[in-house]
Structure 1
Amino acid sequence: MTKNVVLYPGLGVGHLTPMVELAKLFVRHGVAVTVALVEPPVKAPNFSATVARAAASNPTITFHVLPPPPPEPSGATSTTSSDDGTPKSHVLQMFDYLGAMSAPLRDFLRSLPAVDALVIDMFCVDALDVAAELRLPVYYFYASGAGDLAVLLNIPSVRAGMKTSFTELGDAVLSFPGAPPFKASDLPAETSKDREASKAILRMFQRMPESDGILINTFESLETRAVRALRDGLCVPNRATPPVYCIGPLVSGGGEKEHECLRWLDAQPDRSVVFLTFGSLGTFPKKQLEEIAVGLEKSEQRFLWVVRSPRSDDQNFNELLPEPDLEALLPDGFLERTKDRGLVLRSWAPQVDVLGHRATGAFVTHCGWNSTLEGITAGLPLLCWPLYAEQRMNKVFIVEEMKLGVEMRGYDKEMVVAEEVETKIKWVMVSEDGRALRERVLAVKDRAAEALKEGGSSYAAFIEFLKDLELRLPKDSEGRSLSGNN
């Protein structure tokens, strides 16, 4: 009988995109999938557009937007402001909102004729309680890397034994099972500070071992040391670690054909273009944009650069930014002087299609995990410029552990100067060391493809997960699965 799973990706396009890829993997293995979506509290046009595209492209997957949470009762704690009236942080608002979504999620799961398992995003910690109440197997889909997970599962116990905060440790070097040494300042800021957001993050990782297993968007040969530490139980002190299944790399297939930048790339030589883009939330002030422009011009290399309008300090991350005024943001005459070898795009590019184009030769990235995997599976060296969240940790793993990229120095000092942009781009595109880096990435690209094929490590891990899920399903008196019944 067909199994039925519900995927619950929480908030944000960056978390929805890999969850859709996971849904497609379930379908390929004969499992029926429903994706239960949370509409952002601040209306975001790109959410509706992303859902519409995903639904149109994947008719075998059911998408259901959950109704908003019930209104806060009089006297209840606000999801947007603290008890003293000050605004809550973006992270804390997200956790509070997802917590309030437990009731709509529970009602939706109860309304379905059949649910065999719930697969949740890392931020959907309160959904653990919903699954327990409904007696459903519950799994996490960890959309970042095994290295991050190995470190962050350790953080609650380490933090509990500290008399100071990670912030106060600054550049002190830390050591965790499964990870190379890295600076305390490379940890996500939310884990480092004595505030409510930090408590929420720590609670999230503290409760993750309560799940029945963790699906990780990586492949074993990419992060061997971290995966071994997780499986050996070294990352969750004094508790059992649930099974981990490395089932990636799950990346979007692209499919854009008509965008102007792809036509422009068609006219460029093979592996000659540096692509610069910094994720759906990455923005820079005008001064940093000017430094990038000067560095690109002096490098004399071909480039494709996505520029977004700077974000003001008081703007919410979910707010849609206006289209950038390139003439005002970039140095005088830059666009004219570089028009024969560069193209600057406003706000967006079809990233997967650009990375997979034969003309693209290197990737300047913010080290978000989706982008990291997209770059690796395209066989591109990574110029690492982390901005927020776990991206600094990803940079350490990419540069020190995987050896698939180099650091753009200055990102942690608020400014990457033009000389650094020029030097690193020249290094990766024309030097012997850059050529060696490109050869390493191409070898890993081949290993990524092998992992997903029948008989590969990620294919085998997903089959193992499905078998483990089968064992958790209720059986009839003769031991046959009752899959398909609540």
Structure 2
Amino acid sequence: MIPLLDFTHHLSLRGGSSLTITIITTPKNLPFLSPLLSITGTINNIETLILPFPSHPSIPSGVENVQHLPPSSFPKMIHALGDLHAPLRSWITSHPSPPVVIVSDFFLGWTQNLGIPRVVFSPSAAITCCIINTNWTNMPEKTEILEFPNLPNCPKYPWYQISSIYRSYIHGDSVWEFVRDSFRENVTSWGLVVNSFSAMESVYLEHLKKEMGHERVWAVGPILPVTNGGGNRGGRSSVSVDHVMSWLDAREDNHVVYVCFGSQAVLTKDQTLALASGLEKSRVHFVWALKDPVEEDLRIFFDGFEDSVSGRGLVIRGWAPQVDVLRHRAVGAFLTHCGWNSVIEAVVAGVLMLTWPMRADQYTDAALVVDELKVGVRACEGPDTVPDSDELARVFADSVSGKQTERIEVVKLRKAAFDAIQERGSSVKDLDGFIEHVVSLGLKK
């Protein structure tokens, strides 16, 4: 949601009076949307359409956000959202000035059939789009190593690193057939917008154009917040942004390790203890964004842990101001689950990534970061793997004292990212190209 709404802001500002934008959401997600809309202050070409979340036997009443569901329920969420087709279609056909295009993320393939051109928004990497399209089109069977010889660089991954949504597919099941068809619709969409940039993924962006049979593939990233910092963009935190920044201000340049695993990943008790031990043994300064532990013994442990690392470590319970933290001069390394938002934010900040992918597109992102872009170092992998605390301590210590090759490469990639979003940069040209196509659709009506 965050990069899609940031894209909306840039679209609004760049398109100006030539565009009117309507954001479609459901009631329980409105609180996530409202703060992000308000930060730009004087937007007057954005409206909202709130549609009731459809009732569905597999989704508990009142749940409208995937953060509140186990990962295994995500396909059911995709299926449930398909029931928004009728009310959305009704709104489009009855509108006095109906929209000329719809932008929706790659889980919402059913929006392909609303009577207007559909643009897929990918919050993931271009390489992820290539792999998703290939899997759901070709439907490869389970194998020890899944290879993609038709993709650039011929990537290959162990079967367990392929998206669990694909690995869980059940032939003949109505929910799963809907999910399969939704993903297949992405390949035949009118256009595709990707939160990436040419210097980072040019070969995959070109492959997508060939695969889709047209040039309407726009790389508009890195999609940055419209304001200078990220602030509180997703949830509650135990500490204020000002406190975190003040704490970092007192540290040396590039000497702090930032640890965060995104909004959904939850470490097991053993993983949490191993990570805490690795941070303690490493003697590095760190900021750790941690979900508040459920287990009472872990709560007690962290009370003592925070005392033992006082002055060297800052533990944030809840949502962290990640954009602000990563861009602070003191932060030199980032232990991350490799969600694409986190990867992009680290690239923009020029921060070395220590990768610990766990699910979804995170393995693909980690391989891109470490093997192709050379801007990261492997720390661990897997949702159940308990890392060796001594090895983690070594990785942490090295990340703020060595790894010069990766540091040089991430600085280069950071420059390329900012070049892309300058006035004549590749991503600005793509954003303008997208707007021109949308405006031309309106003129043809």
Q: What is the rounded CA distance, in whole Å, between the counterparts of 2:379 and 2:358 in structure 1?
A: 11
Identify the residue that residue 248 of structure 1 maps to in structure 2. Answer: 221
TM-fit CA distance, 1:49:
3.4
| Conserved 8 A contact 2:337-2:357 | yes
**Structure 2 residue aligned with 1:57:** 39
Deviations 1:243-297 (A, max 9, x none): 2111111022425384321111111111111000111112112211100010001
Q: Does 2:243 match 1:260?
A: yes
Match of 1:229 among 199, 207, 212: 207
The answer as to whether partners of 1:69 and 1:103 remain within 8 angstroms in 2 is no
- Residue 191 (structure 1) aligned to one of 161, 166, 170: 166
- C-alpha distance in structure 2 between counterparts of 1:410 and 1:143, whole Å: 22
In structure 1, distance between residues paired with 2:100 and 2:284:
53
Does the 8 Å contact 1:26/1:33 carry over to 2?
Answer: no
The C-alpha deviation readout for 1:324-381, integer Å capped at 9, x for no partner, is: 9864354x84222211211111112111111111111111111111111001000001
Q: TM-score, normalised by structure 1?
A: 0.79
Could you tell me which residue of structure 1 aligns to residue 310 of structure 2?
339
Instruction: Normalising by structure 2, report the TM-score.
Output: 0.86
State the identity as a percent.
27
Moved more, 278-287 or 202-211: 202-211
| Distance (whole Å) between structure 2 residues aligned to residue 463 and residue 416 of structure 1 | 46
CA contact (8 A) 1:191 1:198 kept: no
2: CA distance, partners of 1:467 / 1:421: 49
Correspondence 1:353 to 2:324: yes
Q: Which amino acid aligns with 2:218?
A: Y
* Shift of residue 198, structure 1, vs aligned partner: 5.3
Q: Does 1:178 align with 2:152?
A: yes
2:406 is equivalent to residue 437 of structure 1: yes
**Residue aligned with 1:248, SS:** coil
For residues 69-108 of structure 1, what are the structure 2 equivalents within 5 Å?
69=53, 78-80=57-59, 89-108=72-91
In the aligned structure 2, how far is the partner of 1:20 from the partner of 1:329?
Answer: 38
Displacement of 1:424: 1.4
Amino acid at match of 2:24: L
Measured after TM superposition, the shift of residue 474 of structure 1 is: 4.9
Distance 1:201 1:97 in 2: 10
Q: Distance in 1 between matches of 2:405 and 2:214?
A: 38
Query: In the aligned structure 2, how far is the partner of 1:126 from the partner of 1:430?
Result: 50
Matched residue type, 2:144: G
C-alpha distance in 2 between matches for 1:341 and 1:259: 18
Q: Which residue of 2 aligns with 1:317?
A: none
User: In 1, Cα distance between the equivalents of 2:287 and 2:296?
Assistant: 16
**How far apart, CA to CA, are the structure 2 residues paired with 1:401 and 1:324?**
42
The residue number in structure 2 matching 1:202 is: 180
2:4 to 16, 19, 29: 19
Distance 1:326 1:112 in 2: 57
Query: Which residue of 107, 111, 132 maps to 1:152?
Result: 132
Please tell me whether the aligned partners of residues 120 and 139 of structure 1 are also in contact (alpha carbons under 8 angstroms): yes
Is the contact between residue 304 and residue 345 of structure 1 (CA under 8 Å) also seen in structure 2? Answer: yes
**5+ residue gaps, structure 1:** 1-15, 73-77, 82-86, 311-321, 476-481
Distance 2:35 2:255 in 1: 31
Cα pair distance change 1:55/1:465, threshold 3 Å: closer
The residue aligned with 1:284 is 267
Which structure dedicates a bigger proportion of its chain to helix? 2
**For the residues of structure 1 that align with 2:385 and 2:368, how far apart are their CA atoms?**
21
Say how many residue pairs are matched: 417
**Distance (whole Å) between structure 2 residues aligned to residue 357 and residue 430 of structure 1:** 17
CA pair 309-224 structure 1, distance change in 2 beyond 3 A: same
Q: Deviations over 1:379-412 (max 9, x none)?
A: 0011111122111111111111111111223436
d(CA) in 1 for partners of 2:391, 2:181: 39
Q: Does residue 1:295 correspond to 2:278, yes or no? A: yes
1:137 match: 117
8 Å CA contact retained: 1:102, 1:126: yes
Q: Residue type matched to 1:285 in 2?
A: T
* Aligned counterpart, 1:328: 300
Q: Which moved more, 1:99-108 or 1:263-272?
A: 99-108
Kept in 2: contact 1:245–1:465 (CA 8 A)? yes
Amino acid at match of 1:178: P
Q: Distance in 2 between matches of 1:295 and 1:358?
A: 23
For structure 2, the 5+ residue unaligned runs are: 61-69, 232-239
User: Who is 2:423 aligned against?
Assistant: 454
CA-based RMSD of the aligned residues comes to 2.7
Amino acid at match of 2:271: Q
- Following superposition, the deviation at residue 241 of structure 1 comes to 5.4
Judge conservation of contact 1:249–1:452 (CA < 8 Å) in 2: yes
Whole-angstrom CA distance in 1 between matches of 2:361 and 2:340: 9
Q: Write the distance in 2 (CA, Å) between the matches of 1:278 and 1:67.
A: 31
Q: Does residue 10 of structure 2 align to residue 39 of structure 1? A: no
Question: The residue matched to 1:455 in structure 2 has which SS?
Answer: coil
CA contact (8 A) 1:323 1:347 kept: no
CA distance in 1, matches of 2:59, 2:383: 29
Query: Which amino acid counterpart does residue 191 of structure 1 have in structure 2?
Result: Y
Where 2:34 maps in the other structure, the secondary structure is helix
C-alpha separation in 2, matches of 1:88 and 1:403: 30
